Homo-oligomer: A and B are copies of this chain.
Amino acid sequence: MNIPQSSYPRIVIIGGGFGGISLAKKLAGQEVQVVLMDKHNYHTFQPLLYQVSTGGLEPDSIAYPIRKVLQGYDNFFFRLAEVDEINTEKRLVMTNIGELKYDYLVIAIGSETNFFGNKALQQNSMAMKTIPQSLNLRSLILQNFEQALLTDDYHEREALMNFVIVGGGPTGVELAGALAEIKKGILPKDYPDLDTRRAQINLVQGGDRILPAMSEIASKKAEDFLEKLGVHVWKDIRVMGYDGKLVTTDTETSFETATLIWAAGVQAVSLKGLDAEEFVTRGNRLKVNRFNQVEGFDSIFAIGDVAYMETEAFPMGHPMMAQPAIQQGELLGRNLVRLMQNKPMKPFVYRDKGNMATIGRNKAVCDLPRFKFQGVFAWFVWMFVHLYFLIGFRNRVVVFINWVYNYVRFDREARLIIRPYKKQLRT
């Protein structure tokens, strides 16, 4: 892998997401050698992926080159690599570009879409966890309308204009809202020769309310907002199967659709060699102690979505979101330095900064630790917070300009089919 030997201990970080990047930043200037690996050469700002899928933002403005984050430090190395296996005995990371010895290993590899073992669902539905996936979805949505124009078959046309989103978490809710605004603001202008009023957006939630991680009032308001936008919200319905045409559920309700978007769950990415039953738990996550040390190891850590840390406040682990990852990354950076100085590490305490979701134009819901509010102000707070956490000055400016433009013009100009998506149906 051509990483030079160093007199400093080598910290290998797997994953350049929120956790990996904030950890790396904290280690800048310290007496360590840092090797960050990721299968992409960029950091993805996942909370805005749904805006890429719906043509509101360019993919490049929610991505940031990882090498640029690490610029200026001679003891920092990035490698574009896919990790195959961890050899914990020999302290080796095995990858598609060779193996590397670590002194400390940090698993920050994140999560992937969880289809709960349902192969048909996995093969026929669209996920939205990476930029290429979001671009595929963008292409498919646009292709559907182009195709709907051409068919004389009433059923086929309805199915092409019917969107079923499974999962009432922030991703599902935000995507549903964005699609509803496209239906209202863009489709009638772009497709005057198509009865786009017949386009449908269905949001299907297994539980009895959407945004279950938020307050009851936020759930209620979000549902109101969605219904005002014309989204059909289905609760207490579990999707059971999808053959590329028909969505079946555990009730009598079913949906004929060409597009099922699966946003109903995530699981930690598994790593061979770190998959023993003793420490892998709910959602594939790795059990860690309060210092993010993986159970049974002194020098292996896990942060972010991969880490399962039981605390009094979070007996089922922290939510798989950006904030815990960022905070764990920052603390681990300080703790690793303390560890090498033979000082005691500090236990992790999650500072909950709140939760929010946007539904559309002037419509968002915010649960802050002290206040809960919904509507226009929440929408501004949502935008401010997302711009603040977005990495890169240029990205912030470009995203801001796009938002202003989209708001003023009721438009989304990135409705481009750059790489057509070829649906491969397998049942």
Contact = CB atoms under 8 A, between A and B. Distances in A.
A162 interface: no
Given A146-B80, A405-B397, A132 B42 contact: no
A65 B145 CA distance: 14
A416 B16 CA distance: 14
Contacts of A2: 149-150, 152, 193
A67 B397 CA distance: 27
A395 B413 contact: yes
- State the number of copies, please: 2
A119 interface: no
A68 interface: yes
Contact of A65 (B41, B58, B190, B405): B190
B405 A401 contact: no
Interface string A394-426: 110110011001000001011111110000000
Interface in A370-400: 392-395, 397-398
A72 interface: yes
Interface string A328-340: 0000000000000
A290 interface: no
A74 interface: yes
Interface in A37-81: 40-42, 58-61, 63-65, 67-68, 71-72, 74, 77, 79-80
Given A65-B413, A394-B413, 5 more contacts: A2-B152, A4-B193, A40-B416, A60-B60, A80-B417
